[in-house]
Chains A and B, each alone.
Chain A
Amino acid sequence: MPKKPEMPRNKAPKTATAKTKPSPDAEAASSSLRCYNIPDYRLEHPEFSITMERDAATDETRYSIDGDLSADPPPIRDSKYLKREQCIEIYRWMLLNRKMESVLESLYKQSKVVGGVYFGLGQEGCSCASAYALRKDDWMGPMIRNQGALLVRGFSPADIMRQYMAKADSPTFGRDASSHFGDIKDRNVAAPISMLGELVGILAGVCLGARLQGRNIAGLTYVGDGGQSTGVTYESLNFAAVQKLGVVLVVENNLWGYSTPADMQFRVKDLAERSIAYGIPGVIVDGTDPCQVYDATHEACERARQGEGPTMIEAKMMRMKGHAIHDAAQYVPKPLFDYWQKRDPIARFENYLVNEKKWLSRDAHEKLVAEVDAYLEQERAAAESSPMPTPDQDSAHQGVYCPPGCHDIKPKYAEVKYGTAKKASAKSRQEAEVHLR
């Protein structure tokens, strides 16, 4: 029986009282000082910063790296929850994610893609492992590089390829591009738009709707180090915090927002610190370690399902390609690229499964890769053979408006039971003092 959703109550703040004037030292050490804990589950804590420098001779302005990038990648942290089969499943999703994007790249180079292509290279562990923590009734809102999450949630590689090729049978019938699609019926995916940070508020609303229907669910979504700079991110997460809505926000700090480095997006040391500002738990994980990502997401989802409100998870990694396929990312300093290349999530997890845990034999691994390749070939062929839309055929699909009979809208989980006891209002209606007359 799920816990009945509870309305958040305001708590009166604690005030420190003192009978005599304390010394400055005593005041500094006073217990009214607040202490915050942001758990950091990473097994390494690199210190580096990206700064602008100007070449004295040529005036060329570029980014340079300060800090020690010599360390070898740490081991994968054992998951507290994942069993062998689950780890292999996540690994398969990551492979599918990576290889699907390779197919998209080759389709682009054959001029079969309309517009640009966005890659999540280097971020597959984060997308797949986080989405893997969701249950059927939970919701997910993907950002542009979370195509792995879309796959985990039940969309096919062909769906995504058709979106990019603007085909008539894409999930949006060719009306919108890339990951801008969703499913309110079965897969519980909220479609993103191009503006950043909106999904946080949308998932907050989804959780609100579910709670009104007697269910506490988890609403997983993502925002980048760039995207989190928007005002709507703040408003939405604050709203979720105040209302105790189970938004699980994975802040994907991949160090680059298009061509702008993270150091030029915020002043805090770690984005997870921002959770303090909202009054919610925040944790830091290594975004290239699927076990860490899964564990943090799973715990956050459990909190959400208990009605304990939102969590912020900062996943640290790097975007290993440009913003989109046209962008060669020449602004990324090479030492930084090399550092993160050694931390490729698929290479790390393969090593973990095959060599360290010995959960997957070399043979079984080869079979797995071959199976994924064969599946993708099938999907690619299916997507390529889809027709392009025509205006006439398009008019057969849903219109700009939803007329009577077009959709039968009903509460998804259950009827709302709040405020349904039949009674008349006790309050008498009088002339009231209003804002402006």
Chain B
Amino acid sequence: MERDSSVFCLGEDIGIYGGAFKVTDGLIDRFGPERVIDTPIAEMAIVNAAYGAALTGLRPVAEFQFIDFIGCAFNQITNLLAKAHFRWGAPVPVVLRGPCGGGVHGGPFHSQNPEMYFVHTPGMKVVAPATAYDAKGLIKSAIRDNNPVLFLEHKFLYRRIKEELPTDDYTVEIGKAKVVREGRHLSVITYGAMLYIALDAAEILAKEGIELEVIDLRSLLPLDRETIANTVRKTNKVIVLHEDTKTGGIAGEIAACINEDAFDWLDAPITRIASTDSPVPFSPPLEEAFLPRVEDVVREARRLKAY
């Protein structure tokens, strides 16, 4: 926002309150109420206003207080933002951001992972950083991108990861995955909070002599098919792990991509670990059973290693 005065924010309670998760804390003092706008509770209007402002050459960043409320603006995102450039040549440099994911006892409407509705929408870009470093680099790339970008911030990670970040203006390229941990026996492809589940499992398995390679996708659309194919060619056995529910989750899409790009390198069927196909339950024991766990990854990795 300092570098480019065209960037402004709009959303519910993002101004004086600083946002439900304090992500925009202090921005209104620094940039003023004209560029940090508290809106009525009106997701459709928020998205349409962002779109209209983008038509005049600005770069709006619109917040959904919980990404679950993105359903309220489904039509606006899929039929207005995603299709504008193709239909009538109007670029839409809008960032839509908000807290996603569970593990915080939020219940069905404060814990969702809605990425696939929008990965299925040509014209959108979808990113989901798992580290603070990537969050900074990717939000800058998202803002500078001339396309509508859905920027998913996993709320479980908001206050659990702390990193020292470089203060300079660096970006992380959208559409590029990262090899977070190298290994030679099998690959775990994942993103978001599940990255830490995968890394915990990798530590446990390392003690048994099983080396996990862990890939953080970082971007879901466009998907980094090259990095995915490379890891398959290296380890020949793949687990795709995501917190999103299983059916229609990106693991199916990734399995199809591996089928097209690197089938001959597979030594075992692709394994999916995902949340149960159900709404996110509220009570902690129920939510725990719903979400993927470290034990699931360990168990499947052992099974695959022996395949």
Contacts and interface: CB of A to CB of B under 8 A. Distances in A.
B6 A176 contact: no
Nearest to A410: B57
A267 interface: no
Interface in B128-162: 146-147, 155, 158-159
A202 interface: yes
A435 B83 CA distance: 34
Contact of B90 (A184, A232, A235, A431): A184
A143 interface: no
A3 B173 CA distance: 42
Interface residues of B, number: 67
Interface size class of A (residues with CB under 8 A): 35 or more
A334 to B, nearest CB: 38
Given A7-B34, A398-B86, A415-B5, A435 B58 contact: no
Contact of A420 (B5, B20, B54): B5
Contacts of A429: 25-26
B104 interface: yes
Given A202-B51, A206-B56, A400-B122, A235 B29 contact: no
Contact of B88 (A176, A231, A423): A176
B91 A180 contact: no
A306 B84 CA distance: 30
Given A190-B55, A204-B52, A409 B91 contact: yes
B213 to A, nearest CB: 30
Contacts of A209: 52-58
A200 B51 CA distance: 12
A413 interface: yes
B273 to A, nearest CB: 24
Contact of B5 (A210, A412, A419): A419
A411 B40 contact: no
Majority secondary structure of chain A interface residues (helix, strand, loop or mixed): loop
Contacts of B83: 193
Interface in A220-252: 231-232, 235-236, 238-239, 242-243
A434 B158 CA distance: 10
Contacts of A219: 52
Given A210-B56, A411-B6, A427-B25, A172 B49 contact: no
B8 A202 contact: no
Contacts of B40: 235, 238-239, 242
Interface stretch (B72-80, B112-120, B176-184): B72-80
Contacts of A213: 56, 58
Contacts of B29: 425-427
B87 interface: yes
B49 A205 contact: yes
Contacts of B57: 209, 409-412
Interface in A395-434: 397-404, 406-407, 409-413, 415-420, 422-423, 425-427, 429, 431-432, 434
B146 A407 contact: yes
Contact of B26 (A182, A410, A427): A427
A243 B33 CA distance: 11
Contacts of B225: none
A7 B33 contact: yes
B45 A201 contact: yes
Q: Of A232, A416, A419, A425, which is in contact with the most chain B CB atoms at under 10 Å from its CB?
A: A419
A279 to B, nearest CB: 12
Interface in B85-136: 85-93, 104-106, 110, 122-123, 125
A5 B32 CA distance: 13
Q: Of B6, B55, B92, B125, which is in contact with the most chain A CB atoms at under 10 Å from its CB?
A: B55
A401 to B, nearest CB: 5
A207 B88 CA distance: 20
Interface of B: 1-2, 5-6, 8, 18, 20-22, 25-26, 29-35, 37, 39-40, 42-60, 75-76, 79-80, 83-93, 104-106, 110, 122-123, 125, 146-147, 155, 158-159
Given A206-B56, A239-B49, 5 more contacts: A171-B88, A202-B55, A401-B123, A419-B34, A437-B104
6 contacts: A202-B51, A236-B48, A401-B147, A418-B32, A435-B20, A436-B110
